[in-house]
A and B are shown apart, each in its own frame.
Chain A
Amino acid sequence: MGNEGFYQEFEVFSQRTDTSPLQYQFSLLAPNRELALVMAQENFMRREPVADIWIVKRSDIRKLAPEEKQSLQRLDNKDYRTTKGYGYLKKKWRHYEQEMLDEKEILSWGGMKKGD
C-alpha cells in the first residue's frame, strides 16, 4: 500500500487564552489537515485551557539550517534600542520634579476612562 505517502508531518501551535501568544506544542503525523486538527486537540489539549489551535504542514515551514543559526548571535551592545540605554533620564526628570514615564507606567494606561 505504501505507507510513506499516507502520513504527513504537521507542527502544532496553540493559544492558551485570547491574549496569550501562539505557542509551539509538538509535531504529529496525520493523513490530512482535518485529522491533524482533531489529533492536535487529543494529543496536546487534554487538560490545559485552549483558545485556538493552528496546524502547519512541516514542508511549508522554512526554518534555519543548523549552520544558519550561527548568524543569530547578537552583538552585545544594543542599549540604543532598549529603554536600558535611556535609564539616565529618570534622574534628569527628577531634577525637573517629574516622574519618568517608564514601560510599566505606559503599559498600564490601556483604555481606562476617567472615573472608571
Chain B
Amino acid sequence: MSEALFFQEMTEEQKYEQFMKRINAGEKIEADDWMPEDYRMTLIKLISMHGISEIMGALPEKEWVPKAPSLKRKLGIMAKVQDEMGHGQLLLRVAEDLMKPLGKTREDIMQDLFSGKLKFHNVFHMEAPTWGDAGLIGWLVDGAAIITQTNMLNASYGPYARALKRICAEEVFHAQHGEAIIMALAEGTEEQKVMVQEAVNRWWEALLMFFGPGDASTTGTSKQDTTIKYRIRTKTNEDLRQDFFTKYIPRVLSLGLKLPDETMHFDQDQELWVYRQPDWNKFKDIIKNNGPKSQERLGLRRKAYETNKWVHEALNTAN
C-alpha cells in the first residue's frame, strides 16, 4: 500500500499533473478517481444536460405515437421513444455518480430542470406539427446528435465514453428510421413533398443552433475549451457544424429539397461551408425555456413527476 500513502501525500498540483498525464496517455478516468474540480463540474453540466435532453427529446416524438400513419411506423417510433428514455436513464446514472460527492441526487436533477437551472437542448423546445417533422427529427436531429456524440466516444471520462458507445449504436437505428419516413414522403404525392420541405424550413435554424455558438463572443460563455483541454471531446462546435453540413447537405439536396438559406455554398478555397448565422439571441432565449413548446413540455414532465409520486410513497413503506 505504499502507493496509496504516496497518493495521499501528493500536493494538489502533483495530483493534477498526474491526472493530466493519465488522460494525455489515453487512460480513462473513473467515478472514484481523483479529478480536478472543474473537470467534475464540466462533466456534470454536460452530462446532466445531455441526459435530460434525451428525456425531454422523447416528448415531441411521443406526440406522434398515436398518430403514426401505419402500425409499422407506430412500432418504429415507439421503439425510438423508448430508446431515448433509456439513453436518459443511462446518462443520468453517469451524472449522478459524479454529483455524489457533492451530496446531490436524481431528485436535484429533476428540481433543477423544473426551476430552469438545468437546461435542455434547443431543438426539443420546438414544435413538431406534422408527420414530416417526426421524420425530420429522426433523420436530421438524431443525425446532428450522432455527429456530436461520436465526437466524444473516446472521452477521457470512462463511464461517459461507455454510455455513448451504447447510445450511438442505437442512434444508427434512429437515423435510419427517420430516413425511411422522409424518403417515403419525398417520393410521395405533391402534398407529402411539401410537408417535408416545410419541415426542413421549420427546423433549419434550430439545426444550426444545435451545435452551439462558434465561440464565447456570441453567447457570453462556452465550455468548448475546457472540454477539449480535458479530452472529453476533440472538435469545436464549428467543426461539428461543418461536418454535419458535409454529411447531410448533399443528401438533403439529392431528395429534391431546397435549403432555406440561399447564401449557403461550399467555399473551395477555405474548404468551409458558408452559411447565414442563426439568431443567437433567439437561441439564448429558447434555452431559457422561452421556446414555443418549452413550458408545455416542462409542464408535462412535472405532471408525470407529481402524479407518479404516490408510487414512490407506496414502495417506500413496502421496503
Question: Contact residues of A with B, CB < 8 Å?
Answer: 1, 3-7, 26-29, 31-32, 35, 39, 42-44, 46, 65-68, 70-71
Q: Which of B56-87 contact A (CB under 8 A)?
A: 79, 82-83, 86
Majority-rule SS of B interface residues: helix
Query: Would you call B3 and A28 a contact (CB within 8 A)?
Result: no
Chain A neighbourhood of B33, CB < 8 A: 66
Question: Which residues of chain A are near B308, meaning CB under 8 Å?
Answer: none
- Footprint of A on B, CB under 8 Å? 1, 3-4, 7, 30, 32-34, 79, 82-83, 86, 89-90, 93, 96-97, 105-107, 162-163, 166, 309, 312-313, 315-316, 318-319
Q: Cα distance A5–B309 when bound, in Å?
A: 14
Do A6 and B34 touch (CB < 8 A)? no
Within the complex, what minimum Cβ distance (angstroms) separates A53 from chain B? Answer: 15
In the assembled complex, the Cα of A28 lies from the Cα of B162 at a distance in Å of 14
| Contact in complex: A5, B316 (CB < 8 Å) | yes
Contact A1 B316 (CB under 8 A): yes
Q: Which of A29, A39, A65 contacts B4 (CB 8 A)?
A: A65
Cβ-defined partner of A67 (8 Å) among B4, B86, B319: B4
- Given contacts A3-B107, A4-B105, A27 and B312 within 8 Å (CB-CB): no
| Distance in Å: Cβ of B160 to nearest Cβ of chain A | 12
Contact A26 B83 (CB under 8 A): no
A22 to B166, CA, bound (A): 17
Bound CA span A43–B319, Å:
23
Of B30, B105, B162, B163, the contact of A66 (CB 8 Å cutoff): B30
B3 proximity list for chain A (CB < 8 A): 67, 70-71
Are A1 and B312 touching (Cβ within 8 A)? Answer: yes
A88 to chain B, nearest CB (A): 36
For the complex, give the distance between the alpha carbons of A44 and B169 in Å.
12
A1 cross-chain contacts in B, Cβ below 8 A = 309, 312-313, 316
